[in-house]
């Protein structure tokens, strides 16, 4: 396995991937799909600003359709799914070329397909759970989207105060939008359980929601395991 960082405009991506050749495929995918998305937004600026689901044209670019579909299922704006959708398409392209192990993390939103057990660690800001728990993802459960929204960490729009709302879904686009919806539902620790149960209505596999010392889970999620901390690249990316 190799690890590579890829930065292009707002996209800050870390890839753990089978071999160097697949990195170039992932890079090309990102450039292509971002260009198509930016061109579409130039013609349809409301797509970028709306905080509600929006119907798009039948001939819209595939990345736009993925975002719109995820928004429709979760009741949020399509831009809530942008990081996940781009990661999905990168994963689709490398797997289509024969890659058997790829984890594509785009600002905390992950699209993954693996041929061995892989661990995903949760960053939840100042919560005592941050960096202390993770999930063992089984190969048979991939491809999978694992995405996190937070009202206390990062710059993404959230109308809640969750330290981490983690969604698991068949795609990263859907998990990304769902995580936003779950995070919006958390104002305090008393909302953690009800927010996790909101996942029942979002067409996803399951969810874990964290606020302070409170944590709740719902649905079919990977095995929760103890973690020894976040990967080194995370600290270099966010704290240096």
Is the per-residue pLDDT at 240 higher than 50? no
Report pLDDT for 236.
42
Higher pLDDT, 232 or 153: 153
Least confident of 49-63, 169-183, 223-237: 223-237
Report pLDDT for 232.
52
Q: Assess if residue 238 is contained within a domain.
A: no
**Residues with Cβ within 8 Å of residue 43, at least 6 apart in sequence:** none
Residue/partner pairs of 149-152 with CB below 8 Å, 24 or more apart: 149/176, 149/179, 149/180, 149/182, 149/183, 150/108, 150/124, 150/125, 150/183, 151/183, 151/186, 152/125, 152/126
Q: pLDDT exceeding 90 applies to what percent of the chain?
A: 80
Report pLDDT for 133.
92
Is the per-residue pLDDT at 107 higher than 90? no
Is the per-residue pLDDT at 239 higher than 60? no
Report pLDDT for 159.
77
Report pLDDT for 8.
81
Angle at 157 between CA 153 and CA 162, to 5 degrees: 45
Q: Which two tokens stand for residue 190?
A: 């008393």
Domain of 217 in residue numbering reads as: 2-229
Q: Which two tokens stand for residue 25?
A: 């495929």
Give the three-class secondary structure for 117: coil
Q: Which two tokens stand for residue 194?
A: 């009800």
Q: Assess if residue 236 is contained within a domain.
A: no
Q: pLDDT band for position 235 (50/70/90)? A: very low
Q: Assess if residue 92 is contained within a domain.
A: yes
Q: pLDDT band for position 101 (50/70/90)? A: very high
**Residue 220 burial (C-beta neighbours within 10 Å; 0-12, 13-18, 19+):** exposed
Q: Assess if residue 138 is contained within a domain.
A: yes
Q: Assess if residue 237 is contained within a domain.
A: no
Q: Assess if residue 72 is contained within a domain.
A: yes
Q: How do residues 171-224 score in pLDDT, each as one tens digit?
A: 999 999 999 999 999 999 999 999 999 999 999 999 999 999 999 999 999 999
Sequential DSSP letters for 123-166? P-TTSTTTTTEEEEE-GGG-SEEEEEE-SSSSSS--SS--SEEE
Query: What's the DSSP call for residue 101?
Result: -
Q: Bridge-partner residues for 95, per DSSP?
A: none
β-strands 214-219, 206-211 pairing: antiparallel
Q: Assess if residue 240 is contained within a domain.
A: no
Report pLDDT for 231.
56
Q: How do residues 122-141 score in pLDDT, each as one tens digit?
A: 999 899 999 999 999 999 99
Report pLDDT for 96.
97
Domain harbouring 153, CATH code: 3.10.520.10
For the chain, the domain total comes to 1
Report pLDDT for 58.
94
Is the per-residue pLDDT at 102 higher than 90? yes
> Could you tell me the CA-to-CA distances from 78 to 32, 58, 108, 114, 220 in Å, in that order?
19, 16, 17, 27, 25
Question: Could you give the maximum distance between any two Cα atoms of the chain, in Å?
Answer: 48
Report pLDDT for 160.
81
Least confident of 74-78, 129-133, 186-190, 230-234: 230-234
Q: Assess if residue 11 is contained within a domain.
A: yes
């Amino acid at each position: 396995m190799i690890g590579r960082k890829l930065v292009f405009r707002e996209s800050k991506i870390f890839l753990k991937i089978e071999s160097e050749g697949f990195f170039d495929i992932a890079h090309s995918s990102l450039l292509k799909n971002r260009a198509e998305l930016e061109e579409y937004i130039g013609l349809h600026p409301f797509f970028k600003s709306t905080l509600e689901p929006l119907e798009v044209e039948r001939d819209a670019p595939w990345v736009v359709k993925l975002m719109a579909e995820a928004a429709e299922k979760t009741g949020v704006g399509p831009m809530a799914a942008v990081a996940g959708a781009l990661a999905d398409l990168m994963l689709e392209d490398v797997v289509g070329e024969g890659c058997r192990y790829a984890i594509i993390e785009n600002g905390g939103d992950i699209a993954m397909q693996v041929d061995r057990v892989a661990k995903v660690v949760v960053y939840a800001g100042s919560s005592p759970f941050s960096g202390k728990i993770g999930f063992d993802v089984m190969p048979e459960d991939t491809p999978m989207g694992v995405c996190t929204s937070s009202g206390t960490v990062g710059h993404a729009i959230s109308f809640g105060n969750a330290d981490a709302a983690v969604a698991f879904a068949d795609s990263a686009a859907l998990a990304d939008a769902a995580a936003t919806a779950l995070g919006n539902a958390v104002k305090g620790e008393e909302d953690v359980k009800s927010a996790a149960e909101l996942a029942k209505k979002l067409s996803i596999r399951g969810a874990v929601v964290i606020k302070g010392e409170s944590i709740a889970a719902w649905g079919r999620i990977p095995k929760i395991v103890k973690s020894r901390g976040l990967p080194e690249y995370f600290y270099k990316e966010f704290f240096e």
